[in-house]
Structure 1
Amino acid sequence: MSAPRERAAARWYDAEAGPLVRPYAMTGGRTRPGEVGVPLDLIALVAAVGTGPGEDSLLGPEHRALLSLCAAGVQSVAELAADADLPVGVVRVLVGDLLQAGRVQVSRPVPPARLPDERILREVIDGLRAL
């Protein structure tokens, strides 16, 4: 490497930063998840599915990190990205991999239109208090 190039590299990488892995290396160059049948947007809920420990050896470190975060409870894609300190696009691709491998389940939150009306809930509370 030439001297100016070495100086430029020294500015961007230091001992405290640790190893740098580009997002395209984590996803194998993919920018979108495979065909998973469920939209993997920010509010998609991801839950780990228990399987044998031998299968973890086939997963990358980022996949295993996402699985450990999901083991604590259901997480949204946005929460996984924040907790894993990874870009959302990378998390979407990795969750797609885990979904295709049968390691996670992805569901959608209840749409606001299907939630009960606040007025009805207040009437139920008032009725219970009257008992």
Structure 2
Amino acid sequence: MNADDDLVRPFVLTGGRTRPRQEGLRIETQLHATPAALAAPLRFESRRIVELCQAPKSLADLSAALRAPLAVVRILVADLVADGHLLVDEPLTDVTPALMRRIRDRVRAL
């Protein structure tokens, strides 16, 4: 048996899809599982994502923990959000590029 025998191709995990059902999930998006998610009939990686999201986790954290490409995890997470198993923790404010420039300029002024 070689290392490739253990590899599951990404298209198998996503059912052949290359785009998430829900757009707007950024790499830093914080997610947490709903209370009923652990009892849901989920498969493999989706079950693991729900287990990991008992405490808030980002897409990047999930990708690293699953050792799966970010694009694949984004698709799986979007499915779980659409099905009501994961909730997105919305940031209190949107950080716009203009706000980032103002912060940068003020830090430089110090």
Smaller-chain TM-score bracket: 0.7 to 0.9
1:97 and 2:84 aligned: no
Cα distance change, pair 53–77 in 1 and its aligned pair in 2 (3 A)? closer
Match for 1:86: what amino acid?
A: A
Unpaired runs of 5+ residues, structure 1, are 1-12, 118-131
Q: In 1, distance between residues paired with 2:37 and 2:46?
A: 15
TM-score normalized by the length of structure 1 = 0.64
> Counterparts in 2 of 1:30-69, with a 5 A limit?
30-34=17-21, 36=22, 39-51=24-36, 54-56=39-41, 59-69=42-52
- Overall identity of the aligned pairs, in %: 34
Question: Structure 2: any 5+ residue segments left out of the alignment?
Answer: 104-110
CA contact (8 A) 1:43 1:108 kept: no
Match in the other structure for 1:19: 6
Point out the structure with max Rg over C-alpha.
1
Q: What's the TM-score, normalizing by structure 2?
A: 0.75
Query: Paired residues, what number?
Result: 96
Q: Which amino acid aligns with 2:46?
A: H
Which deviations, in whole Å up to 9, do the C-alpha atoms of 1:24-73 show, x marking residues without a partner? 00000111111x3x6111011111101165522xx2200011111101x1
- Once the two structures are superposed, residues 95-129 of structure 1 have per-residue CA deviations (whole angstroms, 9 ceiling, x without a partner) of 0110111000013434444xxx8xxxxxxxxxxxx
